[in-house]
């Protein structure tokens, strides 16, 4: 059996939503976009949502709407699952400044951000990595605008509040392999109507003749229809991810000595993937054995900072992290096959003993 590391969960109602718009002929502009924005804002718990063409477009617009530009600095985590954060900072002409993450959750460290901030710091971009809510209130207390990156975390919550409602602004990605999809797309969300209006103004240049730079970042009506269909199913998708993650986590719990730690047992987290920490030598052996058996495990994160030695917490995590798919399109048979492959990989690697977490 071959199992993809990620896969969208597309169902018949998604096809029907797409066909409805296809048959209407209004595949580009149309009412689905405004409806999706309203429904997304309600889900996130904010007043304003601006649907756009991708997660990168959302982050670029959020930074531009905050007035970030040439000569400014934006603080980012030193590692990420995607370089889009760094690239969006470059796109507005600003300079990315990297800070260390917490060992507990792989999210941006407020202490590290405080140490990295200068008079030129105009924003912080804080992802909720692998669906684990970041401490946005602690970052916000530094007095710098915070953009939440919710690409892997829609439906998660911090102290009962939805992620995306905690910062100055929030961005979402609805790419095919995210927690829900609009095939491709994204959104900027904010409680600040002026910020949202600014992002909305910048997302498209049609009928704008005031000599101001704008972008072709609008979401298509066809994508919005799929997004609306998927958004209705988000609670079921997240519940299925929790079920799968717990089944796979049981494999490690049953393996004997508990020399591993799950990153996700945090109140309000969602499972973009199941993320574990294993002793470095054990992690490397398990990864190798999993590759031999075509079990899709990963280290997930990549360095976006150029000097890894400056970030000890991130180095600690990068040597230990292991992620496993938990997407809702996995069938029960595939989950059982994954669990079996993990058991075999653990056994072949010599179990979980050996090394320091």
| Residues identified as active-site | 178
Which residue has 């800070």 as its token pair?
A: 99
Which secondary structure element, helix H or strand E, spans residue 149, and what is its range? strand 146-149
Q: Sheet harboring 169-173: ordered strands across? A: 48-52, 186-190, 169-173, 146-149, 121-127, 73-77, 95-99
- State how far Cα 135 lies from the chain centre: 15
**CB atoms closer than 10 angstroms to residue 124:** 27
Instruction: Check if the beta carbon of residue 259 is closer than 8 Å to that of residue 355.
Output: yes
Q: How far apart are CA 228 and CA 35, in angstroms?
A: 8
According to DSSP, residue 203 is labeled: T
Please answer whether residues 78 and 209 qualify as being in contact, where contact means their C-beta atoms are separated by less than 8 angstroms: no
Q: Cβ distance 93 to 115 under 8 Å?
A: no
Task: Please enumerate in sequence order all residues whose Cβ is within 8 A of that of 37, keeping only pairs 6 or more positions apart, or say none.
Answer: 49, 50, 51, 187
The token pair that represents 318 in the structure block = 């990068």
Q: Which residues of 150-172 are buried (b: 16+ CB within 10 A; e: fewer)?
A: bbbbbbbbbeeebbbbbbbbbbb
Chain centroid to Cα 220, Å, comes to 22
């Amino acid at each position: 059996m071959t199992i993809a590391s990620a896969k969208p969960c597309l169902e018949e109602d998604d096809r029907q939503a797409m066909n409805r718009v296809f048959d209407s002929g209004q595949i580009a502009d149309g009412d689905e976009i405004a409806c999706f924005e309203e429904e997304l804002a309600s889900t996130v718990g904010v007043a304003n949502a601006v649907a756009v063409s991708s997660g990168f477009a959302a982050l670029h617009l959020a930074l531009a709407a905050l007035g970030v530009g040439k000569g400014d600095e934006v603080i980012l985590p030193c590692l990420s699952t995607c370089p889009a954060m760094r690239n969006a900072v470059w796109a507005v002409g600003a300079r990315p400044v990297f800070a260390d993450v917490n060992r507990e959750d792989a999210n941006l460290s407020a202490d590290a951000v405080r140490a990295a901030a200068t008079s030129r710091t105009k924003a912080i971009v804080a992802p909720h990595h692998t669906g684990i809510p970041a401490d946005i209130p602690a970052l916000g207390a530094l007095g710098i605008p915070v953009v939440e990156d919710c690409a892997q975390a829609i439906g998660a919550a911090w102290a009962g509040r939805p992620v995306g409602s905690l910062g100055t602004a929030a961005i979402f990605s609805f790419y095919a392999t995210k927690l829900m999809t609009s095939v491709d797309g994204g959104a900027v969300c904010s409680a600040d109507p002026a910020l949202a209006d600014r992002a909305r103004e910048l997302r498209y240049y049609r009928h704008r003749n005031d000599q101001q730079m704008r972008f072709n970042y609008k979401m298509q009506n066809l994508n919005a229809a799929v997004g609306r269909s998927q958004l209705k199913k988000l609670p079921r998708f997240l519940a299925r991810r929790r079920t799968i993650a717990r089944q796979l986590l049981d494999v490690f719990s049953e393996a004997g000595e508990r020399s591993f730690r799950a990153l996700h047992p945090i109140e309000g987290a969602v499972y973009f993937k199941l993320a574990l920490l294993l002793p470095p030598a054990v992690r490397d052996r398990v990864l190798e054995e999993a590759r031999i058996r075509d079990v899709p495990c990963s280290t997930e994160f990549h360095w976006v900072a150029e000097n890894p030695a400056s970030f000890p917490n991130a180095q600690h995590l990068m040597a230990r992290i292991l992620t496993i798919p938990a997407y809702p399109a996995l069938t029960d048979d595939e989950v059982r096959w994954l669990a079996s492959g993990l058991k075999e990989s653990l056994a072949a690697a010599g179990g979980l003993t050996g090394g320091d977490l």
